[in-house]
Amino acid sequence: MDRNENEIDYVVKQAEAGFQFLQQTDVIERAELMYAIAAEIEELGEILIETAHLETALPLGRLQGEKARTVNQWRRYADAVRTGLYSEARIDRDPNGQFDLRKYNKGLGPVVVFGASNFPFAFSTAGGDTASAIGAGCSVIVKAHPAHLKTSQLMADAIDRAVSKQGVPTGVFNHVLSDSFAVGQQLVSHKQVKAVAFTGSFRGGKALFDLGQSRPEPIPVFAEMGSVNPVFILQDYLANHLEAFAKQYIGSLLLGVGQFCTNPGVLVGLAGEPFDRLKLALKSELKSAATGKMLHSCILDSYNRLKGEMVQSEGISVLGEGEGNTPHDFARAVLVETEASQVLNNPNLLEEVFGPFGLIVSCNDQNEMNLVMQQLDGQITLTFAATAQDIHECPALFAMAQDKCGRLLFQGMPTGVEVQYAMQHGGPYPATTDARFTSVGPDAVKRFVRPFSFQNWPNEFLPKELQDGNPLQIDRLVNQQWTKA
């Protein structure tokens, strides 16, 4: 349903009250709320899985795994928040009493989270953006994704139950059901909203980013906007792992019907007999691979349109397609190929086709491969299918790759994203709007805090994170020494 500006204003004011409440909590209290939310999500029964399956067409097994991941995210982030890691408490006291400086991180304010289509649990209403914002001490307004409104409501209800049981004001979490773009724009434009989190298309993310920057008070918009996640296969590795790599690559390309933001949509290698044999192996693997139904009809329509445009582009030829009878609402997987010279003359060929689509690029020599690397926009991931010998022989390629992505893989495939401290899920523009931050792993909390310093304040007025005696027993940097004292 659509909402008018008065209704949106009411929701945001509720969120502002929730934010002010969270400002009076400490890291242990916020962690307890997060543990309670995890427990409520864990308790959701088969109705959650069945509802999400009906709304998204995602397999039941995939949804069970994603639910477990979502619960784990809340608990992992809560563990990190509880330690005070993101408080980054610093205390500097002059021995002669000239100054007493104490600094920590506090929440930015109400955060608008846009639910993602491809992860109805882990990147949506109760996903990592919501968890990390609450962990940072920010209230949240979730705009549910219109493709799975019933699933979103079930998750919102679980969060509301946890909020109620913990005696927390309802404004800490707010849920907006609407398929209107105008509602999203109203939320981002509201003067009391202080940050935005988005996972989706480049067009949608860029529009929100521009809106956030054009406000009288600009705000950060943390948008993850897609990536082709190139794989560069090098000669020594190719000579020894051709068949295994073909299976691995096609499996990753088609995982989730290609609807992962880490889908390896571009494969780059040196032209020659080994690469030709690899292409034949890839074609064979694709022919026998199962097809699947995409998340919703709009994504399928977009996939078919972009696929058609790519297939008709100059210098592009179809290497292979998934075979068999494909229902009208299923996506047909396609591999196309081209020469590096075509990519260098037409950078649009390296743009994302969201779905089971792969582009294979043949380079005449190492210099041409380096030029393809230079041509790439920012990526979430980049993978070297390589041996140590290959990397030694291609130092320039290895060096350039580090400027092109947020996560650089040595062998393997990028579609597995671990919820760990050391995970970086983000990359240079246009993969994301701010490459300094991640949207996966506990470090996602860093997006929603700002440093704040107290000078010469009486101990009783300081937040617990900065008080004498360290009542929370967190690690603090006191006069340049890390200590719990």
Catalytic residues: 224, 261
Strand, coil or helix: 446: helix
- The CA radius of gyration of the chain, in Å to the nearest whole number, is 24
CB 176 within 8 Å of CB 193:
no
* Torsion sign, CA atoms 220, 222, 223, 226: positive
CA-to-CA separations, 411 to 57, 232, 248, 388, 421, in angstroms, rounded: 31, 10, 10, 10, 21
CA-closest candidate to residue 165, choices 52, 334, 39: 39
Phi, psi of 476 (to 5 degrees): -135, 150
Residue 49, H or E segment:
helix 46-56
Residue 430 identity (one-letter amino acid): P
Residue 25 identity (one-letter amino acid): T
Determine the Cα–Cα distance for residues 107 and 425; give it in Å rounded to an integer.
Answer: 21
Phi, psi of 272 (to 5 degrees): 150, 180
Phi, psi of 361 (to 5 degrees): -115, 120
CB 228 within 8 Å of CB 351:
yes
